[in-house]
Chain A
Amino acid sequence: MPRVEFLTGNQAMAEAAIASGLRVFVGYPITPASDLFEYLSDKLPRYGGIVFQAEDEIAAINAIIGATYSGAKAMTATSGPGFSLMAESIGFAAMVEAPIVVINNMRAGPSTGIATGTGQGDIMQTRWSSHGHYGIVAFAPWSVQESYDMVIKAFDTAWRLRVPVIVLGDAVIAHTREPVEIHEPGEASVYERKKPRDPPGRFKPFKPDREDLVPPMAFYGEGYAVLAESLSHDERGYYSTRQEVYESLVKRLVEKIERSRDRIASSDAYYTTSSRVLVVAFGSLARSALALVRMLRKSGVKIGMWRPKSIWPLDEDGLVRAAEDAEKIIVMEMNLGQLYLEVSRILGPRGKTIELVPVISPQLPSHEELLSFMYKAGVKIG
């Protein structure tokens, strides 16, 4: 039975991971993700899981990749600087199709930036952090409840598709305390792996099922002699430089996510019917943006809002639908225009005017402050 608790975003994410069956958490201290690590350090061992403090974030991500191949649900949590260090092995996880979950609570960057400040500058980094082309899934919560729900969805998606899934929190949501409905440990519905159907010797660890393009997963210790190969590999996991092997592998790593887009992509629309102006915002900033939209609506402005819940992939159909009646799109985000690029790509060809309100501030602005950021950007309503 679900129960209601009063938790921070970080605590809710930790609870969600425990409910999803987390067995291995590997962390490295960083603001604003340390308190998630601390919370799990106390709680996870009581449910049979191991919490391990790595020497750096590079070790953390590689350890959780190894843990998934041993059959454990595994996760790490970090913020910008740590996420940057993890970049190479995000690609490794994508390449060997390791179902890891990485929480990245965005803070004010670049570089060390403002460790205690919030930010939304990691959107493109989340998509393209590692070299080469591969697929990735990312969700971005705007509340403590969503922090909880999205971590469960992250585990479900990671194990269903064998992909690294990133939960893009931010410093504000991580430390905001709200009521949240949570499940008992292990009670959340999370996809279990597809088991190998062929016996050892015949089983090919990277041979995908035709339907979803996801290969069944053999765990270490089951006698399959499975090799997690970071090199370009064929269906047996053997290194290959052959054009057709490389092409089908790289395309499949992207295509398997596209095929499941309907299951992953999600968004919410607010007051979009017959609104002439559409605000696009996500994460904690969307809370201030929605308050601003409500304030403007009270003074008679026909304005609505669209909020992506999945960032990669974006709910493109949802955005197009929400923008149907709008002439002007205003993207508000805590960077100098990243989500803006995606919105422009999707809505630009549809003849909409797309404007950007960049918010460079270590604190989450109130809706009034957001209005002044709008003026500063020269963005007018109507």
Chain B
Amino acid sequence: MSQQKLIARGHPLDKLLRTERLPHIWCPGCGLGTLLGSFLRAVDYLVSKGVIDEKQLVVVTGIGCTGRLSAYVKLDGAHTPHGRAIPYAIGVKLGNPRLVPVVISGDGDIASIGGNHLIHAARRNMDLLVIMANNLNYALTGGQMGPTTPPGAYTTTTPRGNPERPFDVARMVASIGGNYVARWSIHYPVQLEESIKKALPRRGFRFIEVVSTCPEIFGRHVGYRTPPELYDRLKKVVRIKKPRALDDIVYDWEKEITLGVFRDEDEPGYMESICRLYSYEWCREIPEVKWARRLAK
């Protein structure tokens, strides 16, 4: 083997990245790179298997650290105003039902300012995959308390500790419905990748929460400043389970953050539902129907 071949010429996923925009803005120890890696490997797999055409994919993000992801991915996409990734993605789907929008955004964007859009998308079983990175705080703005911040946690806006209770976002979405609801953490990139592979080519609403590490902004205020410290602290409480009831799903920074698949159904999504009422010319071409048939086999 000549020495030439040993020199790395790039990453196998470079084809899905706007490499000229790298390096990214994410801090050392941030979990978002892990999330992006799992997502791109899942996309690469699904494209290689002919399940999806990368031209169909539209990656929609909101504002925040996670929001910057759409700028790095070499796919159609949008970087929308704060909280509006879900309605924008719904519009993308309505505008061309052959497309496959994927929302990837943070917990502040999805569960706080965009919370209303999230619950209504789940209620409608809208044909949409939402991946929510949960870093337990508002990081890009400097570490303020968020809807997922543990009670008692010190943040820049809770200097005496967080007096509020957090949302268990995955459990909330599971309680509303949607065809697929899962929660992983960045400690389990393979499980996350497999989950995305499963959830992307599906009909209806799919939601994956990814509990992520933010040592630089969140960790520093709660005593886990270095990447390994926060990584290990979080790993102590994440637990993969197969919950039998919603009450088995726990989101507690002190005791347990339940991981796993919380909902796995295959009910017709919104687009199919309107096709039962009106014979649109695109009804035979929506990818979700094709996927549902594949899943039934």
**Which residue of chain B has its CB nearest to the CB of A222?**
B55
- Is A228 touching B94 in the complex (CB atoms < 8 A)? no
A203 proximal to B (CB < 8 A): no
A375 proximal to B (CB < 8 A): no
- Is B71 touching A238 in the complex (CB atoms < 8 A)? yes
For A292, what are the chain B residues with a Cβ–Cβ distance below 8 Å? none
- Is B78 touching A55 in the complex (CB atoms < 8 A)? no
> A222–B56 Cα gap in the complex (Å)?
8
- Within the complex, the shortest CB–CB distance from B83 to chain A, in Å, comes to 8
> A238–B70 Cα gap in the complex (Å)?
11
For A89, what are the chain B residues with a Cβ–Cβ distance below 8 Å? 81, 84
For B70, what are the chain A residues with a Cβ–Cβ distance below 8 Å? 227
For B217, what are the chain A residues with a Cβ–Cβ distance below 8 Å? none
**Contact flags A47-68 to B (C-beta < 8 A → 1, else 0):** 0101010111011101111111
**Contact flags B77-104 to A (C-beta < 8 A → 1, else 0):** 1111101101111111111101101000
- Is B84 touching A72 in the complex (CB atoms < 8 A)? no
> A239–B281 Cα gap in the complex (Å)?
38
> A56–B88 Cα gap in the complex (Å)?
13
- Within the complex, the shortest CB–CB distance from B9 to chain A, in Å, comes to 19
- Is B76 touching A63 in the complex (CB atoms < 8 A)? no
For A58, what are the chain B residues with a Cβ–Cβ distance below 8 Å? 83-84, 87
Beyond A24-B91, A63-B94, A66-B91, whether A96 also contacts B78 by CB under 8 A is yes
- Is A69 touching B55 in the complex (CB atoms < 8 A)? no
- Within the complex, the shortest CB–CB distance from B173 to chain A, in Å, comes to 15
For B83, what are the chain A residues with a Cβ–Cβ distance below 8 Å? 58
For B80, what are the chain A residues with a Cβ–Cβ distance below 8 Å? 62, 92, 228, 230
> A220–B88 Cα gap in the complex (Å)?
13
- Is B55 touching A221 in the complex (CB atoms < 8 A)? yes
For B91, what are the chain A residues with a Cβ–Cβ distance below 8 Å? 24, 26, 62-67, 70, 74
Q: From A24, A96, A239, give the contact of B94 (CB < 8 A).
A: A24
> A16–B252 Cα gap in the complex (Å)?
54
**Which residue of chain B has its CB nearest to the CB of A23?**
B95
> A23–B281 Cα gap in the complex (Å)?
12
B116 proximal to A (CB < 8 A): yes
**Which residue of chain B has its CB nearest to the CB of A52?**
B94
Beyond A23-B95, A220-B96, A229-B79, whether A66 also contacts B90 by CB under 8 A is yes
For B18, what are the chain A residues with a Cβ–Cβ distance below 8 Å? 225, 238
Interface size on A, residues (CB 8 A): 44
For A96, what are the chain B residues with a Cβ–Cβ distance below 8 Å? 78
For A224, what are the chain B residues with a Cβ–Cβ distance below 8 Å? 76
Beyond A24-B94, A221-B98, whether A48 also contacts B79 by CB under 8 A is no
- Within the complex, the shortest CB–CB distance from A57 to chain B, in Å, comes to 10
A181 proximal to B (CB < 8 A): no
For A67, what are the chain B residues with a Cβ–Cβ distance below 8 Å? 91-92, 94-95
> A229–B18 Cα gap in the complex (Å)?
14
Q: From A52, A68, A226, give the contact of B76 (CB < 8 A).
A: A226
**Which residue of chain A has its CB nearest to the CB of B78?**
A228
**Which residue of chain B has its CB nearest to the CB of A100?**
B91
- Is A227 touching B90 in the complex (CB atoms < 8 A)? no
> A204–B127 Cα gap in the complex (Å)?
30
- Is B116 touching A56 in the complex (CB atoms < 8 A)? yes
For B198, what are the chain A residues with a Cβ–Cβ distance below 8 Å? none
For A62, what are the chain B residues with a Cβ–Cβ distance below 8 Å? 80-81, 84, 87-88, 91
A337 proximal to B (CB < 8 A): no
A312 proximal to B (CB < 8 A): no
**Which residue of chain A has its CB nearest to the CB of B92?**
A66
For B94, what are the chain A residues with a Cβ–Cβ distance below 8 Å? 24, 26, 50, 52, 63, 66-67, 70, 72
- Is A88 touching B21 in the complex (CB atoms < 8 A)? no
Interface residues of B in 85-141 (CB under 8 A from A): 86-96, 98-99, 101, 116-117, 120
For B21, what are the chain A residues with a Cβ–Cβ distance below 8 Å? 238
**Which residue of chain A has its CB nearest to the CB of B59?**
A227
For A74, what are the chain B residues with a Cβ–Cβ distance below 8 Å? 91, 95
**Which residue of chain A has its CB nearest to the CB of B100?**
A221
Chain A positions within 8 Å of B, measured between CB atoms, are 23-24, 26, 45, 48, 50, 52, 54-56, 58-60, 62-72, 74, 88-89, 92, 96, 219-231, 238-239
Chain B positions within 8 Å of A, measured between CB atoms, are 18, 21, 55-56, 58, 60, 70-71, 74-81, 83-84, 86-96, 98-99, 101, 116-117, 120, 274, 277-278, 280-281
18 residue pairs bridging A and B, Cβ less than 8 Å apart: A24-B94, A48-B281, A56-B116, A62-B84, A62-B91, A66-B91, A66-B94, A70-B92, A70-B93, A70-B96, A72-B96, A221-B55, A221-B96, A221-B98, A224-B76, A225-B74, A225-B75, A231-B79
Q: A48-B280, A69-B92 are in contact. List 8 more A-B contacts (CB 8 A).
A: A45-B280, A50-B94, A56-B116, A59-B90, A92-B84, A221-B56, A228-B77, A228-B78
Going nearest first, the 9 A-B pairs with the smallest beta carbon separation are: A70-B95, A66-B91, A67-B95, A63-B91, A72-B95, A59-B87, A70-B96, A228-B78, A55-B120
